[in-house]
Amino acid sequence: MSPAVRAFRSFFRSGLRWKLSAAIAVVSALVALALSLVVHNAARVSMINSTRDVQDERVQSALRIYESTGRQVFGVRLDDPSLPRELRQYAAKGQRATYVQENAHGAPTVWAETPADEHKVLSLKSTFTDRYSVLVDLDQALVAGSLAVVGVGTALGVLIGGRMSRRLRKAATAARKVADGDTEVRVREAIGGRRVRDETDELARAVDAMADALQLRLEAERRVTADIAHELRTPLTGLVTATELLPPGRPAELVRDRVHALRTLVEDVLEVARLDGAAEQADLQEVALGEFVRRRVQALAPDAKVVVDDDALVQTDPRRLERILGNLLANAARHGRPLIEVVVDGPFVRVRDHGPGFPADLLREGPSRFRTGSSDRSGSGHGLGLTIATGQARVLGARLTFRNAAPEEGGGAVAQLLLPRG
Amino acid sequence: MAATHVLFVEDDDVIREATTLALERDGFRVTAAPDGLTGLDAFRGERPDLALLDVMVPGLDGVSLCRRIRDESTIPVIMLSARADSIDIVLGLEAGADDYVTKPFDGAVLVARMRAVLRRFRAASQADEDDGGALLSFGDIEIDPEGLEVTRGGERLALTPTEMRLLLEFAGAPGTVLSRDRLLERVWDYDWGGDTRVVDVHVQRLRAKVGQDRIETVRGFGYKLKA
């Protein structure tokens, strides 16, 4: 594909505003050109015709004067050798005629001839100059007018298209916010409410209705999940306790292991439901981050290495912070490879492993429930760990981000938590 | 030594039966009650050594039952609560519970928590018989670490065994900042993963008894006793 074609294509994929104004410009230019051509030609034809009439009358009166006095007036010539061939033919037939001789440059020459006595031909020629300059002025006016029309049209296109594209852009921004979970945003309000009633307004209303419907359905689903998990909890507690009464042995071990997994899952689902419900509140206190992380990591993952580059005092909820750390470490242990490093650097806590790193979709969209941290699903995780960590970070007013270390640094997944300072 | 007698109040039949069996296997004697009022009667009639109370029980709820027990006794009380109901946990601790365990719980965890709180209690009750030793004094507070008696302005303070352990921990290092984690380790026998709110609520309760400014909060680190 040549660069020109590519530029052309990319233009047509670009903004609505420019497409609209380009279309208006092209159409108005074509209309102005056509009109100008018609006007120019009509003016020219009418001028030439009137000039022919004048020449014809002159040559007739010159003939009368010549026949009565023998004088040649008005600059008529007898048997002009430069008389055009076409006029000679008419003269030979004894007919009076006029002729317009086009010149390559400048104004045409208008001829008139009339046969005189003794097979002589009386002719008159005149250039069209003064009249022609009127035509040039007319052309200039037409060009100026056309340019003005194109300019105003394009400007109008930019204005109208700009308004529309601005509204659509605002709508897109608002829709993106809705997609990011901001349930307060209304697309219709974002584009300026009910002031304008056009298709953009219709679109905004449709998007809002869709968002509401989805929100309701999501809410219902969330409630059902939370209710189920909640209802499961009491029988599960009985099950956990009853399992411990089983006589020791491999079967009891297997049952205990699965009951433990089930219990973790139910608790995690409940936690996610609570975090989604946005009713969670942090129990804030000041925590010396270095010491806190060192102690917790020692208990949660004794093989992990803790480095405190720069200790900081942060305002946080220690139980939630512990939960985040626990889930990040569990994720690193499950999907990454040792060594797991935890670095405290001011209000930042980084958990890094040396495994294959986070999958691309997690980096792109953030963690989502029931997607494991690694693309092979052989692992035992159910994918709620990072969702919970992100949700808890939100409750803490902290930011949890995920990235992969560059291959030259040894690769691996890096989760970084930024806590608000104390 | 006679088996430790546990009062267990829980409304779910399966949990009640299974936990009773598990505790009995671990050598406890268990009196189980399905609701708060039955539990209160059992407490008064049977004089158990320890109470294990579910927060959500019909009749008299766990927190109120805990408060009633505290009015009459300093026996160890452990609350059982779902992890989500964090407000219940704080209410239970404020009502005088020594510790809590979240549901669904491991029998082993529950027994470990029970043994830890019983150790504190036994240490306190045994010391009662053995009098004498140097008195520690901090302002108007006097502590007899051997006899485990605390007086404020000459008046004897009724401290629960956990509050007593906590105060002794502070008295052992006056003026030193003790972190919540360290207190959890030393007073509650948590190796890790304890809830620091247990410490915070107990410090509040202790302050109410020994004087608000006797124990100072050091932001970001923990608490210290003012000498």
A272 and A309 housed in the same domain: no
Q: Report the distance separating Cα A321 and Cα A351, nearest Å.
A: 13
Distances (CA, A) of B181 to A4, A285, B221: 70, 14, 9
| A158 located within any domain | no
- State whether residue A252 sits within 8 Å of chain B by CB: no
Q: A interface mutation test: which of B24, B57, B83 has the most A CBs within 10 A? A: B83
- Is residue A7 packed enough to be buried (19+ CB in 10 Å), middle (13-18) or exposed (0-12)? exposed
The per-residue pLDDT for range A14-31, each reduced to its tens digit, is: 677 778 888 888 888 898
Mean pLDDT of A144-151: 89
Within 270-309 of A, beta carbons closer than 8 Å to B belong to 270-271, 274, 283, 285-288, 291-292, 295-296, 298-300
A115 and A19 housed in the same domain: yes
Q: B interface mutation test: which of A240, A241, A329 has the most B CBs within 10 A? A: A241
Positions in chain B short of pLDDT 50: 128-132
Residue of B82, B200, B220 lying closest to A422 (CB–CB): B220
Residue B77 is predicted with a pLDDT of 92
Q: B interface mutation test: which of A237, A256, A276, A281 has the most B CBs within 10 A? A: A237
Neighbours of A255 (CB within 10 A): 15
How many CA within 13 A on the CB side of residue A17? 13
How many CA within 13 A on the CB side of residue B38? 12
Give the CATH number for residue A354.
3.30.565.10
Give the CATH number for residue A233.
1.10.287.130
- The H-or-E segment that residue A174 falls in is helix A129-179
| A184 located within any domain | no
Residue A278 is predicted with a pLDDT of 67
Query: What does DSSP assign to residue A374?
Result: S
A293 and A361 housed in the same domain: yes
The per-residue pLDDT for range A27-67, each reduced to its tens digit, is: 888 988 999 899 988 988 888 888 888 888 888 888 888 88
Q: Where are the alpha helices (DSSP H) in A307-416?
A: 318-335, 360-365, 384-396
A320 and A384 housed in the same domain: yes
- State whether residue B103 sits within 8 Å of chain A by CB: yes
- State whether residue B173 sits within 8 Å of chain A by CB: no
Q: Report the distance separating Cα A148 and Cα A142, nearest Å.
A: 10
Total domain count, chain A: 3
The per-residue pLDDT for range A79-137, each reduced to its tens digit, is: 888 888 888 888 888 888 888 888 777 778 888 888 887 778 888 888 766 677 788 88
- State whether residue B160 sits within 8 Å of chain A by CB: no
- Whether residue A377 is predicted with pLDDT greater than 50 in this model: the reply is no
A272 and A339 housed in the same domain: no
A410 and A292 housed in the same domain: yes
The three-point CA angle A218-A320-A364 to 5° equals 50
In B, minimum Cα distance to A226 occurs at B84
Contact present, A122 and A114 (Cβ < 8 Å):
yes
Query: What are the chain B neighbours of A291 within 8 Å (beta carbons)?
Result: 179
Phi, psi of A135 (to 5 degrees): -60, -40
| A43 located within any domain | yes
Mean pLDDT of A211-223: 85
| A188 located within any domain | no
| A105 located within any domain | yes
The two tokens of residue B70 are 């505290």
- Whether residue A373 is predicted with pLDDT greater than 80 in this model: the reply is no
Distances (CA, A) of B55 to B93, B186, B201, B203: 11, 26, 17, 22
Contact present, A290 and A263 (Cβ < 8 Å):
no
Q: Respond yes or no on whether the N-terminal peptide bond of residue A3 is cis (omega within 30° of 0).
A: no
A138 and A248 housed in the same domain: no
| A4 located within any domain | no
Residue of B104, B108, B181 lying closest to A233 (CB–CB): B104
Kindly state the percentage of chain B with pLDDT values over 90.
21
Exposure b/e, A276-304, CB count within 10 A at least 16 = b: beeebebbbbbbbbbbbbbbbbeebbeeb
Residue of B21, B106, B197 lying closest to A240 (CB–CB): B106
| A190 located within any domain | no
- State whether residue B21 sits within 8 Å of chain A by CB: yes
Mean pLDDT score of chain A: 82
Residue of B22, B25, B195 lying closest to A319 (CB–CB): B195
In DSSP terms, B136 is beta-bridged to B143
Q: Report the distance separating Cα B39 and Cα B55, nearest Å.
A: 12
A299 and A224 housed in the same domain: no
How many residues does this entry show for chain A?
Answer: 422
The per-residue pLDDT for range A254-310, each reduced to its tens digit, is: 998 899 888 888 888 888 888 877 677 787 888 888 888 888 888 888 888 888 888
- Whether residue A147 is predicted with pLDDT greater than 80 in this model: the reply is yes
Q: Report the distance separating Cα A324 and Cα A334, nearest Å.
A: 15
| A58 located within any domain | yes
A308 and A406 housed in the same domain: yes
Residue A280 is predicted with a pLDDT of 77
Q: How far is B125 from chain A (nearest CA, A)?
A: 31
Q: List domains and CATH numbers for chain B.
A: 5-125 (3.40.50.2300), 132-225 (1.10.10.10)
- State whether residue B193 sits within 8 Å of chain A by CB: yes
Residue B43 is predicted with a pLDDT of 93
Q: How far is A272 from chain B (nearest CA, A)?
A: 11
Rg over alpha carbons for chain A, rounded to the nearest Å, is 45
* Subunit contact A241:B86, Cβ cutoff 8 A: no
Asked which of A125, A152, A179 is the last residue of a domain, the reply is A152
ipTM value > 0.90: no
A14 and A146 housed in the same domain: yes
Domain encompassing residue A261: 216-276
Q: A interface mutation test: which of B184, B192, B223 has the most A CBs within 10 A? A: B192
Residue B192 is predicted with a pLDDT of 61
- State whether residue B179 sits within 8 Å of chain A by CB: yes
Asked which of A235, A250, A276 is the last residue of a domain, the reply is A276
- State whether residue B219 sits within 8 Å of chain A by CB: yes
How many residues does this entry show for chain B?
Answer: 227
Mean pLDDT of A314-331: 88
The two tokens of residue B112 are 């470990």
A290 and A268 housed in the same domain: no
Could you identify the residue written with the tokens 């020219």?
A44
* Subunit contact B221:A235, Cβ cutoff 8 A: no
Phi, psi of B84 (to 5 degrees): -70, -30
Q: Report the distance separating Cα B63 and Cα B79, nearest Å.
A: 8
A259 and A302 housed in the same domain: no
Residue A1 is predicted with a pLDDT of 57
Mean pLDDT score of chain B: 84
Longest dimension (CA), chain A: 151
- State whether residue A120 sits within 8 Å of chain B by CB: no
Residue of A233, A242, A288 lying closest to B18 (CB–CB): A242
The structure's pTM equals 0.61
Query: Per residue, what are the HEC states of chain B?
Result: CCCCEEEEECCCHHHHHHHHHHHHHCCCEEEEECCHHHHHHHHHHHCCCEEEEECCCCCCCHHHHHHHHHHHCCCCEEEEEECCCHHHHHHHHHCCCCEEEEECCCHHHHHHHHHHHHHHHHHHHHHHHCCCCCCEEECCEEEECCCCEEEECCEECCCCHHHHHHHHHHHHCCCCCEEHHHHHHHHHCCCCCCCHHHHHHHHHHHHHHHCCCCEEEECCCEEEECC
